[in-house]
Each structure stands twice: as structure tokens, then as C-alpha cells.
Amino acid sequence: MDYIQSLRQYIGHQPLQMVGAAALIMDPENRLLLLERTDSGCWGPPGGAMELGEEVESAARRETLEETGLDIGRLELFGVFSGPELYYRYPNGDQVANISIIYLTRDWRGDLHLNGEHTDSSWFELGELPEKISPPIKPVIKRLVEVYG
């Protein structure tokens, strides 16, 4: 059982401040890899909650490998995002106030394959992103488009 699930045993669906890491993975054509979540149908980059005592970069690498099968090389810190825009209520009722540490990488290898958390994946041009972006990742994507779009 992971750290967040173990806390949920005690607090149920109550709001929890959650620190997570994600990787904005770009291909040679400057397209962004996004994954469609099974639970909400929203799109976002690979990422998730840190485990207790885990290093942030390790969390970004672990989550990416678990969710996509891709190994990440060099990571560049893109930004740290927090605040009311990152509050989220999952479809199961769990509430979180996210603190998201976001990395950017163009250094990855492997064959893309999804785990059960996602139903689809696609490489998107920054000017042609899907409308249904996961709410807490919208500020991240907005900044990415401002910087690289």
C-alpha cells in the first residue's frame, strides 16, 4: 500500500496536502506526451504522489516508468506549482491540495505502453492540445505553452 492510500485509511476523503512530481516529456518534433486517465477521462503528463522519504526526481522517474514504460534521462526543473488552482476532488471523492514539482525532459528511451491508470496516450503539438486537461495540471500546461508554444 502506498503512502497516500495508507493515510486515506484514517482521514477518508478529507482534503490532504499532497506533494507530487510529473514529467513533461517532449519528442524531437516538440510534441508533448499526454495520457488519458481511466477515472476521469482527463489528459495529463505522467506523474503522481511521492512516497514517504522519496527524492522528487526519483518520484518523477518512477511514475513515468510505471505509467508509460519509458526511462527518463536528464531532467530539467520546469517549475513548482501550488495554490487554489491545484485543488482537486478525484471521481472517488478524495480531495487533495497539490504541490506539484514539474520536470521537463527530451531525454527518454523505451517503448510506450500504458498501465491500468490510463486508457490512451498521444503526442500533442502545443497548439493542438486536448480540451479535457486534468484540472490541477492546467496551470502547468498553460505555462508550458507560454514558454515553448
Over residues 79-137, the pLDDT tens digits come to: 999 999 999 999 999 999 999 999 999 999 999 999 989 999 999 999 999 999 999 99
- Residue numbers of the domain that contains 75: 3-148
- Compute CA distances 107 → 33, 48, 75, 103, whole Å: 13, 20, 8, 12
The average pLDDT across 56-66 equals 97
pTM for the full model?
A: 0.93
Total structural domains within the chain: 1
CA gap 13, 104 in Å, rounded = 31
Nearest-5° Cα angle at 18, 86 to 46: 75
DSSP for 84-110, please give it: GGGEEE-TTS-EEEEEEEEEEES-EES
CATH code where residue 85 lies: 3.90.79.10
Joined together, the cell numbers standing for residue 26 give 517532449
Phi, psi dihedral angles at 23 (to 5 degrees): -120, 125
Residue-wise burial string across 110-143, b where 16 or more C-beta atoms lie within 10 A, e elsewhere: eeeebeeebeebeeeebeebeeebbbbbebbbeb
